[in-house]
Structure 1
Amino acid sequence: MRWIRAAGRALLIVTMVLTGYAGAGVRGGEAAGGVRDGGRGPMTLATAGDLTNYLGPLLDDWNRGHPREKVTLVELPDSADEARAQMITELRSGAGRYDILNIDVAWTSEFAEAGWITPLEPDRFPLESFLPPVVETATYAGKLYAVPYVTNAGMLYYRKDLLDREGERPPRTWAELERQARTIAPKYGVGGYAGQFLPYEGLTVNAAEMVYSAGGSILGDEGERVTVDSAAARTGIGLLARGVRDGWIPKAALTYKEEESRRAFQNGELLFLRNWPYTFAGASGADSKIAGKFGAVPLPGSDGSGTSVLGGSNLAVGAHARYPASARDLIAYLTSDRVQRRVLTEGSLPPVRASVYQDPELVRRFPYLPALRASVLAAAPRPKSPRYEQVSLAVQAVVNDAMAQHQTPEAAVRRLAVELAAIARRG
């Protein structure tokens, strides 16, 4: 299956691979910012590696219908960091090689602030047809700088067979999660709870979810205001630190990225796992020890359903695009209803179109869709900042120290506030 073949490189697939929409043309004759573009013509689309090999057929369909506006796919390295670095090098040169860019949702603010992508006119795209939270990932300083293309939200995977034996339901609050992880997991010789806790982008996501789910935030005003020094942040990060200290978060989880945590769960080593939707396919595969024995629900929070961090990617028009009207039309194609369904069925990626999540046939094929829809609707973007990479590195370092018991959660939050304020001043 494509999902299982792709699982080994999951986060990149989830956040970077391109997929699309058919139909709905965009009015031509104007550049993305409203300036006349002088006509239409061939384009390039830059993305990280197309690991599921379904993007090619989508673009072939476009090219057959638009012989004068053919698109050439430029595949960058699979690594999100390397792909970002190559995009930035090209964009800084002003050469205009990349007309359309498939960018991680966390990069929108940085690319917009730097002037590498151009504002788009909201009424030219079917934004009202998307799941509402995803649109916020494409805006910066009150303007639309990209169009949501693929989304993602974290979910809580749980061992249904073990909870059923104990007469328990999956947790809706942190207190229930902690109690079940402490008391049920040891009975069956499994770890209680894990996420992606190695110091990398995954830890930033996990930490932000804990802060958000406690009612807090990390940054405000597009990264200019630091809001993390709060009781909510101390509660959320404190729960992670306490889990490691008390043993219901295994110490091995401090080395987990997406794939390590997925394998641990599907090998029967965990009661609970926070991970992305792609995990459903791997855990259902022939090599999974828990196939048919698990379920997925939205993340729990401090006093009810929690808040996931949005993943995924957005499509943007480069500031030096040669034919921006054609570029906008291609984005409309890749975000149409028909192609968004192919995003799910052929690319195994979560689409941004709301209607896809309520299609009975698709729900039968992909039973996690209702839980994923609920997770996306309750989700929030990662902290917005034109210096997001620095912000993420600071969060990773501080939260790792708290979970490794090198610093108390209270001290860690104070330190993070100081570091984030210094980053904001550098702008």
Structure 2
Amino acid sequence: MKQRNRLAIAAVLTCTAALTAGCGGGSSSNEASSALEGRGPITYVAGKDEEGVTPKIIEAWNKTHPDEQVRFIELSSSADDQRQQMVQNAQTKSDAFTVLEIDNVWTTEFSANRWITELPKEQFGIDKLVPTTVETALYRDRLYGVPATSDGAMLYFRKDLLAKAGVQPPKTWDEMRQACDKVKALPEAAGMSCYAGQFEKYEGLTVNFAEAVHGAGGVVTDENGKPHVNTPEAKRGLDALVEGFNSGMIPRDGITFKEAETRRAFMDGKVVFSRAWPNQYSHASATDGSSPVADKFDVAPLPGVAGPGVSSLGGHSLAISSFAKNKATAVDFIKFATAPEQQRLRLDVGSLAPTARELYEDPALQAKYPYLPLLEKSIEGAEPRPRVIKYGEVTDAIQENVYAALRGEKSSEQALADLQAQLEALTGQQ
């Protein structure tokens, strides 16, 4: 992340810690609080709960709030579908949705369109969160969500096979290619491919493309939202992905992989390395017989094309629909649902990355989850995806052009030139 962004976040946290109203030109605490009135039943709207955490959190709240019950509205597992349903609810000004669990890249779009309500910074203890996660919840220095989970990608690798081949976890794509050649020469690795990521035409492709570009020294958009994809650095990143498929380093069916397919390929012993979020750790380490690679894998930082890799910043914030009723209840529920106790539950049940710094520093949790220090570094050094108002159209353009390049339907040069033109039109910046 650029230093100016880190300084901006530091300024925001300083203002929050001091309980300063209107920091950075934002509205006052009283103005933000005045719209948060009304008590009674509310809804909690989120994507499909693969880990089974959300019902536990809601049940704990409902037990002690008989007059302010929360009902869970579970949407699709597809981030694109979730966003579309939330947008449709906002465009019709429906009060059916109250608390929204939004992907951190939607904050700018939802805030700029006034689909979610500004929150008073000083009420949510954001100075105690990992700073990069706070940035994703801000729009024009105002708080519009509270980071509930984060995500930093890690490189999962077969430590048993790397040890037998006498190689260390790679720091670059070239090192990963060389490590794979040695591992695949082992009888135990017969038929294995090298690497799996998320390359189906969906949001995961935007994430993986951004990581390839950042890992090659480039950016997709700068801190002002100006696109920079028609550059030598972006081409180097995209070329690495294209060459990965052309050379067989990435399996041919990897073009269809989302997170679940990546996880299965790694756990079934089909790939040596995989790029994945921390929730893959709990699945791969299961000792109930469901994971053939339990005790046979470890994690390392992502490798980059030109040096150490850079994760895209994942995660979700809790926001309040501008059209909802009972917003005072929603505020209290968000405080409850984002508290360290609930973040610990998400970590324990689903390996969902916390946003509270104290959990990363907890010796007991570090002993239980040895990857936590690595995950914290991944999140602290992560780069956000494009923070633009028309994010849905921007990510569609990225997916369309990158997917075409991976399938050989466009050259890297043509894909990036087309993408640059489309992003300039969507962002109004040339």
**Shift of residue 283, structure 1, vs aligned partner:** 2.1
**Shift of residue 252, structure 1, vs aligned partner:** 2.0
Query: Contact 1:278/1:348 (CA < 8 Å) preserved in 2?
Result: yes
Cα 1:102/1:369, change in 2 over 3 Å: same
Residue equivalent to 2:5: none
Residue equivalent to 2:314: 311
Cα 1:332/1:233, change in 2 over 3 Å: same
Residue equivalent to 1:321: 324
Residue equivalent to 1:395: 398
Structure 2 counterparts to residues 354-369 of structure 1, below 5 A? 354-369=357-372
- Aligned mates of 2:75, 2:342 — CA distance in 1: 23
Q: Identify the match of residue 384 of structure 1 among 377, 384, 387.
A: 387
- Aligned mates of 1:263, 1:271 — CA distance in 2: 12
Cα 1:363/1:32, change in 2 over 3 Å: farther
- Aligned mates of 1:238, 1:117 — CA distance in 2: 39
Residue equivalent to 1:220: 222
After superposition, give the CA deviation of every residue in 1:287-310 in whole Å (9 maximum; x if it has no partner): 333221111111112444311112
Residue equivalent to 1:129: 128
Structure 2 counterparts to residues 86-165 of structure 1, below 5 A? 86-165=85-164
Cα 1:306/1:103, change in 2 over 3 Å: same
Residue equivalent to 2:346: 343
Residue equivalent to 1:211: 213
Match of 2:237, as an amino acid?
G
After superposition, give the CA deviation of every residue in 1:370-420 in whole Å (9 maximum; x if it has no partner): 222221111121111121121112111222222223333233222211121
**Shift of residue 199, structure 1, vs aligned partner:** 1.6
Query: Contact 1:182/1:248 (CA < 8 Å) preserved in 2?
Result: no
Match of 1:291, as an amino acid?
A
Residue equivalent to 1:352: 355
Structure 1 unmatched runs, 5+: 1-29
Query: Contact 1:185/1:270 (CA < 8 Å) preserved in 2?
Result: no
Matched pairs, number = 396
Cα 1:99/1:273, change in 2 over 3 Å: same
Query: Contact 1:31/1:325 (CA < 8 Å) preserved in 2?
Result: no
Cα 1:257/1:51, change in 2 over 3 Å: closer
Cα 1:369/1:413, change in 2 over 3 Å: same
Residue equivalent to 1:8: none
**Shift of residue 282, structure 1, vs aligned partner:** 2.3
**Structure 2 length-normalised TM:** 0.85
Query: Contact 1:150/1:352 (CA < 8 Å) preserved in 2?
Result: yes
After superposition, give the CA deviation of every residue in 1:216-257 in whole Å (9 maximum; x if it has no partner): 21123553x212222221111111112222222222211211
Residue equivalent to 1:176: 175
Structure 2 counterparts to residues 279-290 of structure 1, below 5 A? 279-285=280-286, 286-290=289-293
Q: Identify the match of residue 413 of structure 2 among 380, 387, 410.
A: 410
**Shift of residue 259, structure 1, vs aligned partner:** 1.5
Match of 1:408, as an amino acid?
S
RMSD: 2.3
Query: Contact 1:32/1:120 (CA < 8 Å) preserved in 2?
Result: no
Which piece of structure 1 moves more, 383-392 or 63-72? Answer: 63-72
Cα 1:409/1:376, change in 2 over 3 Å: same
- Aligned mates of 2:59, 2:235 — CA distance in 1: 51
Match of 2:231, as an amino acid?
S
Match of 2:334, as an amino acid?
I
Structure 2 unmatched runs, 5+: 1-28
SS in 2 for 1:346: helix
Percent identity over paired residues: 38
Query: Contact 1:32/1:324 (CA < 8 Å) preserved in 2?
Result: no
- Aligned mates of 1:283, 1:406 — CA distance in 2: 35
1:193 aligns with 2:208: no
**Shift of residue 186, structure 1, vs aligned partner:** 4.7
Which piece of structure 1 moves more, 64-73 or 99-108? Answer: 64-73
- Aligned mates of 1:228, 1:36 — CA distance in 2: 40
After superposition, give the CA deviation of every residue in 1:21-66 in whole Å (9 maximum; x if it has no partner): xxxxxxxxx8872426555333222222334333233223323333
Match of 1:200, as an amino acid?
Y
Which piece of structure 1 moves more, 37-46 or 346-355? Answer: 37-46
**Shift of residue 101, structure 1, vs aligned partner:** 0.9
Cα 1:36/1:48, change in 2 over 3 Å: closer
After superposition, give the CA deviation of every residue in 1:346-379 in whole Å (9 maximum; x if it has no partner): 3442221122123222223223222222211111
**Structure 1 length-normalised TM:** 0.86
Query: Contact 2:279/2:350 (CA < 8 Å) preserved in 1?
Result: no
**Shift of residue 145, structure 1, vs aligned partner:** 1.3
- Aligned mates of 1:61, 1:31 — CA distance in 2: 30
Residue equivalent to 1:23: none
Query: Contact 1:32/1:118 (CA < 8 Å) preserved in 2?
Result: no
- Aligned mates of 1:417, 1:38 — CA distance in 2: 44
Residue equivalent to 1:240: 241
Which piece of structure 1 moves more, 337-346 or 77-86? Answer: 77-86
Post-superposition, which runs of at least 4 consecutive aligned residues in structure 1 deviate over 6 A?
Answer: none
Match of 1:320, as an amino acid?
F
Cα 1:57/1:256, change in 2 over 3 Å: closer
Query: Contact 1:47/1:75 (CA < 8 Å) preserved in 2?
Result: yes
Residue equivalent to 1:275: 276
Which piece of structure 1 moves more, 358-367 or 61-70? Answer: 61-70
